[in-house]
Amino acid sequence: MGIRLAPILIFLIAIDLEARPISYSGASTLMAFSDTMKNSVYYHYSPSYKYSLGVELVRDKVQKKEYAFFRFTSLLNRKNTKRSQRNLYFQSGISFNESRNRFYGIHGDWETRRWYTGFNYKKIDTGAVIYTDQFYQFGVAPYVGEYGDLHSWVMIKTRKNFLESDWSTYPVLKFFKGNALIELGYSKQSHWDAHLMYRF
Amino acid sequence: MMKNFLLLLLLIIHALAQANGNEIDNIHLDHAHDRLVDGKKLEVDLKRFERFIEGLAYSQIAIVSVKGMVCDFCARGIEKTFKRDSDVTKVDVDLSNGKVLIAFKRNKTIDFDDIKEKILANGQNATDLKVLII
């Protein structure tokens, strides 16, 4: 993997750490991501619980470029039961920089208060190369917290990238309390990185 | 005497008809605080419920059963939405039992369809409502 591909992979790890692609009606979400390769700030607004619109500002530290992604996410299907929720989302983004970076794909998840499982399939066009990215994620809450408590999740994510021949598996830890959430992921490429989210 | 009795009976029937029309049960808790007077189990975290009603008086407590409320982060919107209502004095979420507790002012007419709509705006489904008078 060349040095030019590294920021792309790092970027994908960052956006996939996003826990909730759509909020409740009328809510906004602000996210920040930073590691040695890039800084990113993503803001999205949900006019309805069925879709969200947002802008992500990216500062690519390797290529020394700054660009913005305009993102649209739509809830295709949701199944609520007393103990679980299942979701299927369509996600997309386009950048108006000279290379017209864009992506689209689907994201699905199923969770209870104890268990989480999710997948992601995405097609990415960087302007120079088109490829797919997919991952599966499993998580367990070591304890089941009540409303207002600090909640914790221990997750494992396994990802296959078209540009890489094998799967990479790495741990993700998630903590949230109130309107704030933090996810910490570790991969060989990026080492520890942090993703912060605040909903208001 | 008989006239007063008939009048009282008429009022009770009218009150019951109103309650049924709104699909709301206006009922009181018994002393055990875990059952309604009609014998139905309340299905709430009792410690949480007792904390919730502490300091509340002359109120209606709506206990809403909600499907899909599996995490704290996704239930935040429910609390925020109901707190915008000036007739709501307190909101809490019982994740273990899938209930939302909403304290309304006593004179407020509780509309289950309105509650359903607000819960749906958060992406979950309200399936049942009990209203307790305290």
ipTM for the predicted complex comes to 0.80
| Mean pLDDT across A43-65 | 87
Contact A121, A140 (CB under 8 A): no
Contact B78, B119 (CB under 8 A): yes
Q: Is residue B1 part of a domain?
A: no
Hey, where are the domains in chain A? 6-199
Q: How far is CA B38 from CA A115, A184, B117, B131, in A?
A: 36, 50, 28, 13
Q: Identify which of A49, A113, A199 has the shortest CB distance to residue B95.
A: A113
**Is 80 exceeded by the pLDDT of residue B83?**
yes
CB contact under 8 A, A82 and B67: yes
Q: Which residue has the higher pLDDT, B21 or A130?
A: A130
Contact B94, B75 (CB under 8 A): no
- Report pLDDT for A144: 94
Give the CA-trace dihedral at B110, B116, B121, B123, to 10 degrees. Answer: 140
In angstroms, the separation between the Cα of residue A112 and the nearest Cα of chain B is 6
Contacts of B51 (CB under 8 A, 6+ apart): none
Exposure letters A157-188 (e unless 16+ CB within 10 A, then b) = bebebeeeeeebebebebebeebebbbebebe
User: Is B92 an 8 Å CB contact of chain A?
Assistant: yes
CB contact under 8 A, B73 and A83: no
Orientation of helix B112-121 relative to helix B72-83, angle to 10°: 130
Residue B43: give the domain boundaries: 24-133
Q: What is the CATH number of the domain that holds B34?
A: 3.30.70.100
Q: Is residue B29 part of a domain?
A: yes
In angstroms, the separation between the Cα of residue B25 and the nearest Cα of chain A is 22
| Mean pLDDT across A51-58 | 92
Contacts of B48 in chain A (CB under 8 A): 146
pLDDT band at A126; cut points 50, 70, 90: confident
User: Which residues 40-59 of B are in CB contact (within 8 Å) with A?
Assistant: 45, 48
- Report pLDDT for B6: 52
CB contact under 8 A, B73 and A145: no
CA nearest to A72, candidates A117, A33, A107, A109: A107
pLDDT band at A21; cut points 50, 70, 90: confident
DSSP reduced 3-state for B18: helix
**Is 80 exceeded by the pLDDT of residue B12?**
no
* Total of domains in chain B: 1
Q: State the best of A31, A74, A80 to mutate against chain B, taking most chain B CBs within 10 Å.
A: A80
CB contact under 8 A, B67 and A81: yes
- Report pLDDT for A12: 41
User: Is B101 an 8 Å CB contact of chain A?
Assistant: no
Q: Identify which of B65, B96, B123 has the shortest CB distance to residue A49.
A: B123
Q: Would you state the CATH architecture of domain A6-199?
A: Beta Barrel (2.40)
- Per mean pLDDT, which of A57-61, B31-35, B99-103 is the most reliable? B99-103
CB contact under 8 A, B121 and A49: yes
| Mean pLDDT across A31-41 | 77
- Report pLDDT for B1: 55
In angstroms, the separation between the Cα of residue B15 and the nearest Cα of chain A is 32
Q: Identify which of A27, A113, A176 has the shortest CB distance to residue B77.
A: A27
**Is 80 exceeded by the pLDDT of residue A70?**
yes
**Is 80 exceeded by the pLDDT of residue A36?**
no
Q: Identify which of B45, B94, B122 has the shortest CB distance to residue A49.
A: B122
